[in-house]
Amino acid sequence: MTEVTFHFNAPDKTGYACRLLRKAVGTGAKVVVTGDSALLRELDTALWTFSPLEFVPHCLGSGSPPAVLAASPVVLSESARSAPHQQVLVNLGSSVPEGFERFERLIEVVTVDEEERQQGRRRWKHYADRGYAITRHDLAAREAS
């Protein structure tokens, strides 16, 4: 069964995702990131520029050749259904990603925005109603300590 983790109170979704992906790639994980196309384009740009001495290898799921998709440790895709990897799924979107149950691990990132928090609560309820054990990481509490 997919391990579901919520990362709450992210001050900046794109910046947090960049750091999370850098850490995941550093451990050798294969990651698919889902979200709307505008957010994925913003993340694509941020991954090229957020750290001048480190590069997080990634590609866009749409339009990339199959060999590039298979070789990229991070794939940015609007849908998890056709993802080449099934290890870690990071959801930056507002809804439950279709096909999440194929992944070993799902990480939901929720910012401090009230509308996003409400959407996150709906996703939490969706997973909980289906019997998934959910781990919670409060990023605000981590920053305070």
pLDDT at 145: 55
Tens digits of per-residue pLDDT, 16-38? 999 999 999 999 999 999 999 99
Q: Give me the mean pLDDT over the 111-138 stretch.
A: 97
Separation between Cα atoms, residue 126 and residue 114, nearest integer Å:
19
**φ, ψ of residue 53 in degrees (nearest 5):** -105, -5
Tens digits of per-residue pLDDT, 36-82? 999 999 999 999 998 888 889 999 998 899 999 999 999 999 999 88
| pTM, full prediction | 0.95
Separation between Cα atoms, residue 125 and residue 62, nearest integer Å:
30
Q: Residue 115 belongs to what domain range?
A: 3-144
CATH code of the domain covering residue 105? 3.40.50.10110
- The amino acid present at 120, given as its one-letter code, is G
**What total number of domains does the chain contain?**
1
- DSSP E strands in the chain: the ranges are 3-10, 31-34, 58-60, 74-77, 88-91, 105-111, 134-138
pLDDT at 143: 59
